[in-house]
Structures are given as C-alpha cells and as structure tokens.
Amino acid sequence: EAQVTQNPRYLITVTGKKLTVTCSQNMNHEYMSWYRQDPGLGLRQIYYSMNVEVTDKGDVPEGYKVSRKEKRNFPLILESPSPNQTSLYFCASSYAPGHNEQYFGPGTRLTVT
Amino acid sequence: GENVGLHLPTLSVQEGDNSIINCAYSNSASDYFIWYKQESGKGPQFIIDIRSNMDKRQGQRVTVLLNKTVKHLSLQIAATQPGDSAVYFCAENCIGSNYKLTFGKGTLLTVNP
C-alpha cells in the first residue's frame, strides 16, 4: 500500500530533550516536506527536500533540522525542543517538486512541557 | 486532526444538499490552486486542482471554480454525504516559489444526517 508513515504518532517530552520524528514513504517520491499545524494558523511548511541530499527552509524553520540521506526517509530533528514547538506535525511527499498532489502522513502530536 | 477545527469558518449542511466552500487567495502569480480535505485524526488528502488559466474543473461529485478577477476559489460538493464532514483547505502553488504549496486556514464542513 502506497503510504507515508510517521513515528511516533504521539510524544510528550520536556524542554531541551532532543527528539527525532521519523518519516518514510514507499512511493519513490522525489519531494518531501514537513509541516506543522496549529489552530487558527493552518499548515505551515518547516523544511522541504527536492531530492536526496537537497534540503531547504520553509516558512518556519527555526528550531528544526532535517536530513535526506535516502530517498525514502526524511526525519525531523528538534535539537532542543521548547513549548512553542508543541504542535501537530505532518510529513508529506510528492512525485516531483511542484506536483500538486502531496501525500500526507497521519501526523505526530508533539507536546513539549 | 484533533482540534484543527477550532477557530475556523464553519459550514453546516444537510445530507443530500450541495455544499459550497469558499477561499480567497492573495497571490495572483500562482500557477495552480488546489483543494485538500482533512478528516478528523488524519492528514490532508488531495481532492482536485485547477490551473490558473482555467475557470472551472469538475471531478467526481466536486467542482472547483476559479475567479481570478476577484481572487476567489470555490469548491462545490454535490449531494453532500456524512463522509464529507472534514476541514477543507485551499492551497496555492506558485512554481517559481521553490515549488511550495501555501495553504489557507481551512473551513470546517459538518454534514447533518
């Protein structure tokens, strides 16, 4: 089944404790992206990747890192999480950069206390 | 996803009625306009897109209308069903903007049986 998977689905952590949210797609997509979703603010792009070893900042990259060592994986790293990073996070992929149809993962609910 | 529906414009319709969800966009240089649907607890899902040089496009039970004069986009859902209850996002794709999709805030559609 074609899908984007994220882990963990739910995470409660404390300020400053490094964490990684994994994202994997099995569709051989070139383009991958991370979004955060907050009430009243909609979906905002954090980072994106147009292919292996090619990543770039989105609209809200501060406090986040990403890597794209393999085509299928695009982990999101929070080196020192803070409470303002409490949010619902989505990973997405598409066949190519600029493709309108992005496939989204199920989301990761992160709470930073 | 959870609590995504807070702070959103809402539309409540009866099952079987037609629904019209509206979106105002800002970037007249966008190349495509897209509609996504997000059911509770899930990631957004692509519904339909329209190129900026078109004014209407039809899909299965959905029609998207684009009025570039007033920068307005709408999604019409025919014979709305309970399974259509979700948050609906419009998005813009400006190819020259690093292939980024810019999402609107969303509209919560509730279908009453």
Per-residue pLDDT tens over the stretch A37-93: 998 888 999 999 999 999 999 999 999 999 999 999 999 999 999 999 999 999 999
A88 contacts on B by Cβ (under 8 Å): 1-2, 4
User: Taking CB atoms and an 8 Å limit, are B100 and A45 in contact across chains?
Assistant: yes
- B44/A contact by beta carbon, under 8 A: yes
Q: How many CB pairs (< 8 A) connect A and B?
A: 69
Under 8 Å between Cβ of B43 and B86: no
Tokens describing residue B69: 């004069």
CA-based torsion, A25, A26, A27, A29: positive or negative: positive
Work out the pLDDT band at B2, boundaries 50, 70, 90: very low
A103 contacts on B by Cβ (under 8 Å): 46
Rounded distance between C-alpha atoms, residue B14 and residue B111, angstroms: 6
Instruction: Pick the residue from chain A with its C-alpha nearest to B40.
Output: A106
Per residue in A6-25, pLDDT (tens digit) is 999 999 999 999 999 999 99
User: Taking CB atoms and an 8 Å limit, are A45 and B98 in contact across chains?
Assistant: no
Q: Where would I find the H helices in A1-113?
A: none
A43 contacts on B by Cβ (under 8 Å): 44, 89, 103
Classify residue A82 by its DSSP letter: -
Instruction: Pick the residue from chain A with its C-alpha nearest to B37.
Output: A104
B93 contacts on A by Cβ (under 8 Å): 98, 100
